[in-house]
Amino acid sequence: YAMKANPMPALVGHMAPLVDGIDVASAGELKIALDAGTDPGCISFAGPGKRDAELRQAVAAGILINVESFRELAVLAEASQALGVPARVAVRVNPDFELKSSGMKMGGGPKPFGVDAEQVPALLRAIGRAELAFEGFHLFAGSQNLKAEAIVEAQQKSFALALRMAEHAPGP
């Protein structure tokens, strides 16, 4: 459940046991999710505007953080070392493909969300050096499309990209 849809605490408390995770985009949303009793292991933190203090709070809480820049990674590495726990991270990848039939496109060139696909191998090496807990990728190819063919194309291209990126993933 993406809290940006509706962060009302009572709704989040109701939704938490019904969904496989809660996605937050700020420290305020993180607090609501935790106060609602959401297991920290079921919370992910995404968005390009994460503040350093929010990143440190997320590491301390044990939630999954979608890394969207080398700067964020540096803050997470520092927080992990200071707290003595590896940050749980996924890499938000800005796809290197574009789906022409999507209304909101996230791939095919630089965007404010995520790391461009060609930079991901270097980011993954840095995650390994920092000894963070790498858990996967966050990919978003586009939205506002109800055509089955376009959805299939998006899934195929996303899986292919994830497999290509996984070759560079740090081991356990």
Cα separation, 100 vs 170, whole angstroms: 33
Residue 94: half-sphere exposure toward Cβ, Cα within 13 Å = 19
Cα separation, 71 vs 35, whole angstroms: 29
Are 104 and 142 in contact by the 8 Å Cβ rule? The answer is: yes
The one-digit pLDDT tens for each residue of the chain (172 residues) are: 999 999 999 999 999 999 999 999 999 999 999 999 999 999 999 998 899 999 999 999 999 999 999 999 999 999 999 999 999 999 999 988 877 655 444 444 455 678 999 999 999 999 999 999 999 999 987 777 788 888 888 889 999 999 999 999 997 6
Work out the angle between the directed axes of helices 52-61 and 27-35 (0-180°, nearest 10): 20
| pLDDT at residue 106, as a whole number | 46
Structural domains in the chain, CATH included, are 46-166 (3.20.20.10)
Q: Work out the end-to-end distance of the chain between its first and last CA atoms, rounded to an integer number of angstroms.
A: 28
Cα separation, 48 vs 55, whole angstroms: 12
Show the tokens assigned to 150.
Answer: 């376009």
Cα separation, 63 vs 65, whole angstroms: 6
| pLDDT at residue 97, as a whole number | 82
What are the residues whose beta carbons fall under 8 Å from the beta carbon of 81, sequence distance 6 or more?
none
Please, what is the Cα angle at 73 between 67 and 79, to 5 degrees? 115
| pLDDT at residue 117, as a whole number | 93
| pLDDT at residue 104, as a whole number | 47
| pLDDT at residue 167, as a whole number | 94
Cα separation, 126 vs 3, whole angstroms: 30
DSSP code at position 50 = -
| pLDDT at residue 22, as a whole number | 97
